[in-house]
Every structure is written in structure tokens, then in C-alpha cells.
Amino acid sequence: MNKIFFIIIVLALLIALWFLFPQKTDDPEFSEAIKPAKIERYEPTEETTPQTLIDIDQVDISEMDNTQTPAIALNDSDTLVKDFLSNAGATSILENLRDEVLRRFVMATYAISQGSIPKQTPFISTTIPPFQATPLFPDKKTYKPNKANASRLTPLINQITKIPPEKFAHLYLENQSLFQQAFDELGTDKLFDKKLTKALDIIIEAPLPPDQPTLVRQTVTYQYQRAKYENTPPIIKALWRLGKENQLKIQKYCDVLKDELKNR
């Protein structure tokens, strides 16, 4: 059930990224272009025009370009993410973190905002105990999920929710243009910030899991016997498999995080 990892990581990976200095280049044309120009001594003359002072009250700020160019390259972001996780003590995430974290996070957030689960771009490469269910009858046509399933990810969830959400919000907002850059690579003209808010809303508003649902197993995976539950969006069913207690913990954390993002 590695899918459910990706919901949890969307909380932790708002931490990405501190700024780096721009990269150097070996391009000879670029190197030539940035050679310092020859400095000429300034000799004042009688015809020198007095300097005109600008009245700041007359400047139309709305016409100024306030777009910030990130001083960090997308390709250099992994080290920064790992450093933050290490400082935060999030070792369970850090030990299994894959490369290209920021790009994976952006794609996963978009999938969650659509009610889906990121299947092709997982953040974590790890193994957890398989989902277990007990047959209700000897014919093994129907099952009930084991209560122990929910505890498989409890240590990881506890580790994430101990990190103050305001830190995640601060780091995301400080590097918002970088997240947008990664989202633009997908060929979209949408704002990533809106997709992030939508993803958080889906998690926050998810209904709690049904009590003692009946499962069937027609293939290698279990499914809900009732179509009402089985037809629920995949992201909601993934939350249900975390267990009621863990789901509430995640929802509360996302709610606080959303407020931090909105109020800063």
C-alpha cells in the first residue's frame, strides 16, 4: 500500500527549498560577456546636467515588475530538502527520499487536487507491511480489514505532525516562484498555489472511514463491497486506510497549514 505514503509526504514536502547562489557556467561566450568593462575616469565639465531627483510619490507602483527570480535552481533542490528534513528530525522520510523531490511534489499535488493518487511520481522508495484482511466466512468471498493496518504509518505521521506547520508555510511562500516554475514544466498555464489549496481542501474535507466495512477480493487487491464506498475518489480511500485516528490527525494538521499559508 505504498500509495498512501504520497498523501503524507505532501505535508512534509512544503518545506522545499532555501535559496542557492546562481550556478557558474563554462560557456566561453557567457564568460566573455561578463568580463568587467574598462572604467573611465569621470571628469566633470561646466556643461554637466544637474541630477534630477525622483519624487517617490509620483511613481506608479502597479506598473513595476515585482516578479522574483529564484536564486536557486530546480536541479539543486534535493540537497536543501534533505538538509531541512535532517534539521527537523524527520529521519523516516529522509532515509527513503527519492531524487527530484520538488518536481515529484508538484506533480503529486496536482494529482491529489484532482482526487487521484500520484502513481508514477512517488516521493519515497520503501517497503511497508501489506494491507491485511480477515475472511468473514470460510468461503473467503468477503473480508473485514484488520485494525493493525492503521498503525503501519503512525510513526511517520507522528514525525511529520511534530514539525510546526508555520515552518512549512514559511519555506513554501519564500520559494513560491520555484514551485510555480516546476508546475510550468508540465505545460500548464495555471497557478500552482490554487492546486495546492485544492489538494489541502480535499484532505481536510474528506469524510471519515466507514465503520467495519466489508471487503471483497476479486484480484490481488481488496475492494469495498458496497459501490458507495468503492466509487469514492482514490485519495479519499487512501486516507481511510490510514485509520480514523491518523486521518483526523492529518486533517487537523492540513487545516492549520492552510491557515498559515493564507494569513502570511
Query: pLDDT of the chain along its 264 residues, tens only?
Result: 444 444 444 444 443 332 233 333 333 322 333 333 333 333 444 444 444 333 434 434 344 344 455 557 888 778 777 887 888 777 777 877 888 888 888 998 999 999 998 776 666 666 778 889 999 998 888 999 999 998 888 888 888 888 889 888 887 888 888 889 999 998 888 899 999 999 999 999 999 999 989 999 988 889 999 999 999 999 999 999 999 999 999 999 999 999 999 887
Cell of 244: 480514523
Confirm whether 220 is domain-assigned. Answer: no
Confirm whether 180 is domain-assigned. Answer: yes
Cell of 146: 484488520
Vertex 178 angle, CA 176 and 182, to 5°:
120
Give me the number of domains the chain comprises.
1
All residues at 6 or more sequence positions from 75 whose CB lies less than 8 Å from its CB, including other chains: none
Confirm whether 176 is domain-assigned. Answer: yes
Per-residue confidence (pLDDT) for residue 192, from 0 to 100: 94
Confirm whether 55 is domain-assigned. Answer: no
Query: Which residue range(s) make up the domain with 100?
Result: 3-20+69-130+151-210+243-263
Let me know: does 239 contact 247? Beta carbons within 8 Å: yes
Confirm whether 40 is domain-assigned. Answer: no
Confirm whether 183 is domain-assigned. Answer: yes
Confirm whether 257 is domain-assigned. Answer: yes
Q: What is the pTM of this model?
A: 0.69
Confirm whether 8 is domain-assigned. Answer: yes
